Amino acid sequence: MSLDRVPERAPVTGAVASDREMCVFSTILGSAADAEFHEEIHRLEHDHAVDHLRLAKTDLSRRRLRAVTEAGREIAIALPRHEHLFDGAVLEFGAGSALVVRVEAERWLRLRPTDAPRALKLGYFCGNLHWRVQFDGEDILVAVETEEKTYLDRLGPTLEAGEALLIAEPHAAHPHPQPAGHPKA
Amino acid sequence: MNRPLSASDLSRPGPARIGIGGPVGSGKTALIEALMPLFRKRGIEVAVVTNDLVTKEDARRLQASGLIDPERVLAVEAGACPHTVIREDPTLNIAAAEDLETRYPELDLIIIESGGDNLASTFSLDLVDWWMFVIDVGQGDDIPRKRGPGILQSDLLVLNKLDLAPHVFVDGPATLAEAEAVRAGRPVIGTVCKGPAQQGLDAVADRIERDLLFRDVPA
């Protein structure tokens, strides 16, 4: 699609359509929380006119990907290196519709070491496996980035030896979610 | 207001960057060598960054191959810890990729080959957009079952040297099936990179062309 062929009321978009009409988004317009988008996107949501691209948190670091939106639209993203996807990123806006990135809730395993030396050991163990972790009081939370079984298999001996307890909320989101990485957020 | 780019102009975000990781001797460089003619035939402009521990061996091999302009191959010496420069601190590789992007604005694709490592190596997505992990049948049929992060988390797992499977007492199709099972639906491709009966290479090139360059290649 060349500029000359953009319809008069074209939506604001960072995308181009390929020969087969797949849109390639090459910039992020802003955050759905920004004043310039917030009210209108809220209104469009009531009209069921907001399409969402659901991404895992681990995919937010990607600059290029091909994906299918909730509405079943196949799209691609090719961002410059300095741009980052984030929860609420607006890819398309206007003409009665919008496309917004939403990040799926992360799963975390909550582990509670039974004493300080075992906590040190568990921390070393998680670091040695390059697991992404957060701390919450006396607990260590491990992000489940692949199959949960993979983590539980690795933790098996630790749990069986009573060195740590697995707190029963394996599918809960982290209680203190990190803010989106967008500078305007 | 954002201005739509022309349909053929995806140059503003720069070329796609892909990573190739895997254990020593699994065939990472051989895979690149085998893909080069396919990329050329498809009109894909490529440059390569190689990582070796303390030498430039892989870079020299590619530069001497006749498959690519030697100037389009840069070497990064990874030191004793090859996964550090592709994951924890990929600064050297990012700088090399940016150097190539500046020198060759026509590039579609930059391949970053990791130094040979173990099954735990993964790529930072700050460095690459997508990465594949190469294992081979010579390492034994239990490699997929070992479920290292490279095997589980890569965007594409390549099981290489399938032609050698009978000679090392490995059931190639069974190992492929097991790899597919542990990856729970993520793609796995079996390859033969050398010799007259190359295998699986078009499938690898198709996936790169479709998923990274967004060309109309069937899934």
**A107: pLDDT strictly greater than 60:** yes
pLDDT for the residue A105: 84
CB atoms within 10 A of CB B68: 19
Residue labelled with tokens 């579609």: B108
> How many beta-carbon contacts under 8 Å exist across A and B?
84
Confidence of residue B83 (pLDDT cuts 50, 70, 90): confident
Confidence of residue A77 (pLDDT cuts 50, 70, 90): very high
**B7: pLDDT strictly greater than 90:** no
Q: A10-14, B65-69, B113-117: which range is least confident on average?
A: A10-14
Expressed in angstroms, the distance from the first to the final Cα of chain A is 32
Q: Which of B6, B124, B153 is nearest residue A16 as measured by Cβ atoms?
A: B6
Give the residue on A whose Cα is nearest the Cα of B219. A66
Highest average pLDDT, of A4-13, A29-38, B62-71, comes from A29-38
Q: List, as ranges, residues 116-175 from A with C-beta within 8 Å of B.
A: 129-130, 145-147, 150
Per-residue pLDDT reduced to its tens digit, A160-170: 999 999 997 64
What value does the mean pLDDT of chain B take? 88
**A183: pLDDT strictly greater than 50:** no
Torsion over CA of A129, B128, B213 and B197, rounded to 10 degrees? -60
Domain with CATH 3.30.70 in chain A: 108-167
Confidence of residue A16 (pLDDT cuts 50, 70, 90): low
DSSP B48-74: EEEEESSS-HHHHHHHTSSSS-GGGEE
Cα-Cα-Cα-Cα dihedral sign, residues A174, A183, A78, A11: positive
Task: Answer yes or no: do B216 and A20 touch at CB < 8 A.
Answer: yes
**B43: pLDDT strictly greater than 60:** yes
pLDDT for the residue A12: 57
Domain with CATH 2.60.260.20 in chain A: 3-103
**A177: pLDDT strictly greater than 50:** no
Mean pLDDT of the region B72-80: 84
* HEC string for chain A: CCHHHCCCCCCEECEEECCCCCEEECCCCEECCCHHHHHHHHHHHHCCCEEEEEECHHHHHCCEEEEECCCCCEEEEECCCCCCCCCCEEEEEECCEEEEEEECCCCEEEEEECCHHHHHHHHHHHHHCCCCEEEECCEEEEECCCCHHHHHHHHHHHHHCCCEEEECCCCCCCCCCCCCCCCCC
pLDDT for the residue B19: 97
Q: Which of A16, A65, A147 is nearest residue B7 as measured by Cβ atoms?
A: A16
State the nearest Cα–Cα gap between A173 and chain B, in angstroms.
21
- Of A123, A127, A87, A128, nearest to A106 by C-alpha is A87
Q: For chain B, which residues make up each domain, given as ranges?
A: 16-211
Rg (C-alpha) for chain B, rounded Å, is 17
Per-residue pLDDT reduced to its tens digit, A21-64: 678 999 999 999 999 899 999 999 998 999 999 999 889 999 99
* CA gap A134, A31 in Å, rounded: 26
Confidence of residue B44 (pLDDT cuts 50, 70, 90): very high
H-helix or E-strand containing B16? strand B16-21
Where are the alpha helices (H) located in chain B, listed in sequence order?
A: 28-41, 57-63, 91-103, 149-153, 172-182, 201-211
| Chain B partners within 8 Å of A2 (Cβ) | 6-7
- Of B214, B156, B200, nearest to B38 by C-alpha is B200
CB atoms within 10 A of CB B139: 20
Residue labelled with tokens 């990929």: B90
Torsion over CA of B101, B104, B110 and B113, rounded to 10 degrees? -90
- Of B9, B5, B42, B216, nearest to A21 by C-alpha is B216
Topology, domain A108-167: Alpha-Beta Plaits (3.30.70)
Mean pLDDT of the region B91-120: 91
State the nearest Cα–Cα gap between A95 and chain B, in angstroms.
14
Q: Which two tokens stand for residue B87?
A: 């994951």
Per-residue pLDDT reduced to its tens digit, B134-167: 999 998 888 888 788 899 999 999 999 999 999 9
Topology, domain A3-103: HSP40/DNAj peptide-binding domain (2.60.260)
Q: Does A20 touch chain B (CB under 8 A)?
A: yes
Sheet with A64-68: strands ordered across = A15-17, A23-25, A74-78, A64-68
* CA gap A75, A82 in Å, rounded: 21
What is the architecture of the domain spanning B16-211?
3-Layer(aba) Sandwich (3.40)
